[in-house]
Amino acid sequence: MSARPLIDRSSDAVGTALRAIADATDLDALRAAERRIDDEFAAIKREIKSVDAADRSAVGQALGTAQAQARAAADARRGELEATAGAARLAGERLDLTAVGAEYRRGHLHPVTQVWRELEDIFCGLGYEVHGGPEVEDDWHNFEALNFPPGHPARAMQDTLYVNLGEPEQVLLRTHTSPVQIRLMESQPPPIYAVMPGRTFRRDTPDARHSPVFHQIECLVVDRGITMGDLMGTIEVFFRALFGDVEARFLPSFFPFTEPSAELGVSCPFCSRSGCRTCSHTGWIELGGCGMVDPNVFAAVGLDAEEWSGFAFGFGIDRIPLLRNEIDSLQTLLWDNDVRFLRQF
Ligand code: 2NL
């Protein structure tokens, strides 16, 4: 056999191979095409032995060139397909680092804590210090120094929770924040401009308006020449910072630790005194009490009442978030601990 038929078959094989390689759209298709091409070249190679010996090298050369051409085309195509596949994989695996994740629900401060801090902020803005003290007190700081003599009916009015420590009825959960003010006057000389917020305790049966654990804030000023006018002006400024456009009202009253003393009210911030449910249609909301520090209190802490004078006032903190948010019951606010309720505020 002459060289011609196998040389022609080699060049046909290259033509077929180049088309198949060009048509392969992915790496699997390319590998399949390469297998068919290799098979065809192997078949041609097997035929060489039937070519005349003198012509075999011409066939071998043609076959080698054809194979090299096909391999070069396949390598080039593989490079292209790999680049495309790599780019597609990168695009698929791309992480968007700017994507916003699932929202995390943060808690917030309890409504009582919010008001507590707001009160501190207002008084800090007026130049006052914030002080705290022990929740378990002795009889001296809670009663005696505050001009509640032993056996005095004003003591019986406070439903005291005594603690089984020391002498009977000498250690108790503080019934008000006033002992902190006694401690402050005992520990540093005037002038004193301070507020004392804190947790306080009385043996009350829990209901919508009462809780054996509640919160108070008291204010104490001791300086030279302090008058009732300073007391009234300070309270008015404070009420306006807390409630907006309101008036303060003072009704004569009695407290053992102040003389004179007054009940402290604020014009209803919700109806501007025209009467609403919140103020029980009176136009006023009773908040606490106030007065000029009694000379007996100054004597108890060793201050000369001829040199120093001062005022004090106190009120419950819990009332304020109740009023503001129209919450019906102190129990719901303080003790139910229902986040579905509390997260509204
Ligand atoms: C109220 C009334 C008041 C005071 C607290 C006070 C403290 C000292 C001396 C004089 Cl050390 N006074 N505190 C004065 C008047 C009223 O609280 O209704 N609180 C809830």
Burial grade of 296 (CB within 10 A; 0-12, 13-18, 19 or more): middle
Half-sphere exposure of 219 (CA within 13 A, CB side): 26
Q: How many residues does the chain have?
A: 345
Q: Of all atoms in ligand 1, which is nearest to the CA of residue 179? A: 11
Burial grade of 68 (CB within 10 A; 0-12, 13-18, 19 or more): exposed
Q: What is the pTM of this model?
A: 0.71
Closest alpha carbon to 180 in 131, 217, 123: 131
The CA distance from 340 to 239, in Å, is 31
Q: What is the DSSP letter of 286?
A: E
- Cα distance from N-terminal residue to C-terminal residue, the chain: 101
pLDDT at 159: 80
**CA-CA-CA-CA torsion sign (67, 73, 78, 79):** positive
Residues 6+ positions from 144 with CB-CB distance below 8 Å = 150, 300
pLDDT at 2: 85
pLDDT at 228: 97
Q: What spacing in Å lies between the alpha carbon of 183 and ligand 1's midpoint?
A: 14
Q: Of all atoms in ligand 1, which is nearest to the CA of residue 297? A: 9
pLDDT at 104: 84
pLDDT at 260: 98
Q: What spacing in Å lies between the alpha carbon of 335 and ligand 1's midpoint?
A: 26
E strand or H helix that includes residue 82? helix 56-93
Pocket of ligand 1 (CB under 6 A): 146, 178, 181-182, 216, 218, 220, 255, 257-258, 288-291, 293, 297, 312-316
Contact predicate 259/234, CB 8 Å: no
Residues 6+ positions from 81 with CB-CB distance below 8 Å = 24, 25, 26, 27, 30
Helix orientation angle between 228-243 and 111-125, rounded to the nearest 10 degrees: 130
Q: What spacing in Å lies between the alpha carbon of 344 and ligand 1's midpoint?
A: 33
| Pairing verdict, β 309-316 and 136-138 | unpaired
pLDDT at 43: 87
3-state secondary structure of 202: coil
Residue type, 199: R
The CA distance from 209 to 327, in Å, is 11
Q: Which of 201, 214, 219, 313 to mutate to test the pocket of ligand 1 (most atoms within 8 A of CB)?
A: 313
Residues 6+ positions from 119 with CB-CB distance below 8 Å = 195, 197, 217, 242, 317
The CA distance from 317 to 116, in Å, is 7
Q: What spacing in Å lies between the alpha carbon of 219 and ligand 1's midpoint?
A: 8
**Bridge partners of 250?**
264
Closest alpha carbon to 63 in 45, 50, 47: 45
pLDDT at 17: 86
Peptide bond into 5 cis (omega under 30): no
Q: What spacing in Å lies between the alpha carbon of 201 and ligand 1's midpoint?
A: 15
Tens digits of pLDDT across the chain (345 residues): 888 888 888 888 888 989 989 999 999 999 998 999 988 888 888 988 888 888 888 888 888 898 999 999 999 999 999 999 899 999 999 988 888 888 888 889 999 999 999 999 999 999 999 999 999 999 999 999 999 988 887 777 778 899 999 888 899 999 999 999 999 999 999 999 999 999 999 998 999 989 999 999 999 999 999 999 999 999 999 999 999 999 999 999 999 999 999 999 999 999 988 999 889 999 999 999 999 999 999 999 999 999 999 999 999 999 999 999 999 999 999 999 999 999 999
| DSSP assignment of 236-262 | HHHHHHHHSS--EEEEEEEETTEEEEE
**CA-CA-CA-CA torsion sign (22, 25, 31, 33):** negative
